[in-house]
């Protein structure tokens, strides 16, 4: 791999990690928004809103993804690219249905998730092409060694 490709792969990894951190911060902002708008009612009925629990689960899941992507695990990047589609969907729904400022947070969540998705696809694309090339070469070499690739 040449130097410029390594540099661009490193920058894309940093972009993916930064977007995951931004998604965690947006989830924290949703928690803050839920607590500040529900805080007066917590005195009367001290029940934790369901959105709070969902936000905590999202943050923990994103932290797990962050650790795996930071380790540059290709398989983790593959499944996390599918996992992040849930954040794109949730952010879009929030942006379209929630009142402000939650709608703005929904748009930010969508933008961060799309940025992560694009960065991961840009990282995995060259890796997948190289793996296919190696597999094709191995298949060709095996066929030549067994004599299946020759014509009689």
* pLDDT value of residue 54: 79
Question: How do residues 46-59 score in pLDDT, each as one tens digit?
Answer: 455 666 777 788 89
User: CB–CB of 59/28 below 8 Å?
Assistant: yes
Question: How do residues 93-133 score in pLDDT, each as one tens digit?
Answer: 989 998 888 889 999 999 999 999 999 999 898 877 877 88
Share of the chain above pLDDT 90, in %: 39
Place of tokens 């993804």: 65
Say what the pTM is.
Answer: 0.78
Higher per-residue confidence, 117 vs 43: 117
**Rg of the chain in Å (alpha carbons):** 22
Task: Report CA-CA distances (Å) from 39 to 19, 32, 42, 63, 102.
Answer: 29, 10, 5, 27, 16
Structural domain boundaries, residue 95? 3-33+48-145
Decide if 39 is inside a domain. Answer: no
For 60-74, letters b (16+ CB in 10 Å) and e give ebbeebbeebeeeee
> What is the rounded CA–CA span in Å between residue 13 and residue 53?
29
Place of tokens 């995951």: 20
Count of domains observed in the chain: 1
- Least Cα distance to 1 among 117, 120, 129 occurs for 129
- Least Cα distance to 112 among 43, 36, 28, 46 occurs for 28
Decide if 29 is inside a domain. Answer: yes
User: Is residue 45 pLDDT above 50, yes or no?
Assistant: no
Decide if 150 is inside a domain. Answer: no
């Amino acid at each position: 791999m040449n130097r410029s490709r390594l540099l661009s792969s490193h920058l894309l990894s940093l972009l993916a990690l930064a977007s995951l951190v931004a998604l965690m911060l947006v989830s924290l902002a949703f928690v803050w928004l839920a607590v500040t708008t529900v805080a007066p009612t917590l005195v009367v009925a001290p029940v934790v809103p369901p959105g709070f629990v969902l936000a905590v689960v999202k943050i923990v899941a994103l932290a797990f993804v962050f650790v795996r992507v930071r380790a540059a695990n290709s398989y983790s990047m593959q499944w996390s690219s599918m996992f992040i589609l849930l954040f794109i969907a949730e952010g879009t729904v929030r942006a379209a249905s929630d009142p402000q400022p939650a709608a703005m947070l929904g748009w930010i969540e969508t933008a961060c998730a799309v940025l992560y998705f694009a960065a991961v696809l840009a990282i995995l694309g060259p890796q997948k092409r190289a793996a296919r090339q190696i597999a094709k070469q191995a298949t060709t070499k095996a066929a030549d060694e067994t004599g299946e690739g020759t014509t009689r």
